[in-house]
Structure 1
Amino acid sequence: MQSAKETASNIGASAKAGMEKTKASVQEKMEKASAHDPMQKEMAREKKEERKAEAEAMKQGTKAQNAAAKQGERLTGGHGNYSTGGTGTTGHLPGSGTGGSLI
């Protein structure tokens, strides 16, 4: 059961990161289209790269948190608190509606 929760959480984190990366790319294109000088275009590119790196870091953090929770479960044999949230703070998958825990 714990493995299924980890997998679901990792999938959610990957999907969220993918959406954030796509939004960053679209935002960059919009900013480049409205930019009038090369400096503004370069700033748009840098902003996109920062947003993509942040999304990837959040995804990796969630995966690391899930792996640590899984390892803790193995060591203790108990049923500890396990967050399935893609956000790392609310304990729910993005877009799940209620904002409640999926535990």
Structure 2
Amino acid sequence: MQAIKEKAANVAASAKSGMEKTKATMQEKVDRAAANNPTEKEMATERKEQKVNQAEFDKRAAQEHNAAARNATKNTGQPHTYSTTGAPGHPTGTHQQSALPGHGTGQPTGQVTEGVVESHPIGTATGTGRTNAAHNTHVGAATNIGGSYT
């Protein structure tokens, strides 16, 4: 399972790196087109190269972090987070990540009957407590006739 998490995090880091490289290349094209002299064009190319190198560095750092997290999990049995940026993360454990009761803790929020999946008819019991009129911005609005509101 840890190997799958590491691969997924590495794919995300690689995708992020690719996106950063693409953005750098496109920005270079814009900057070169707007440049008035060869020096400005050269500076645009240098900025692109710096951004591409930084993106590659960040990807490698993330991959190294992910490998270290996998090895640490293997050695200690404690879960670690995986990164797309190379920055170390902290597992949330049982810390609630949302104001919703039980959300983010892995605990069910209501009554649970094992082996039973609850279902609701489509279009009802959405939990919003609103009628369709509440979504219509024109309901109850004044109309503008001849410059005055009625």
**Global fold match (TM > 0.5):** yes
Which residue pairs with 1:96 in the alignment? none
1:29 counterpart = 2:33: no
Give the superposition deviation at 1:47. Answer: 0.1
CA RMSD of aligned residues (A): 2.0
* Aligned match of 1:67: 67
Count of matched residue pairs? 91
After TM superposition, the structure 1 = structure 2 runs for residues 1-103 of structure 1, keeping only pairs within 5 Å, are 1-76=1-76, 78-83=77-82, 85-89=83-87
Percent identity of the aligned residues?
46
Normalising by structure 1, we get a TM-score of: 0.80
Deviation of residue 71 (structure 1)? 1.3
Q: CA deviation at 1:79?
A: 2.4
User: Residue type of the partner of 1:21?
Assistant: K
Deviation, 1:81, is 2.0
Range that drifts further, 24-33 or 65-74? 65-74
- Kindly report structure 1 stretches of 4+ aligned residues shifted beyond 6 Å: none
Where 2:14 maps in the other structure, the secondary structure is helix
Between 1 and 2, higher relative CO (CA 8 Å, sep ≥ 6) is seen in: 1
- Say if 1:74 and 1:90 are closer, same or farther in 2 by CA, change over 3 A: closer
Distance 1:49 1:19 in 2: 14
Structure 1 residue 88: Cα displacement = 3.8
**TM-score where L is the length of structure 2:** 0.56
Q: Structure 1: give runs of 5+ residues left out of the alignment.
A: 92-99
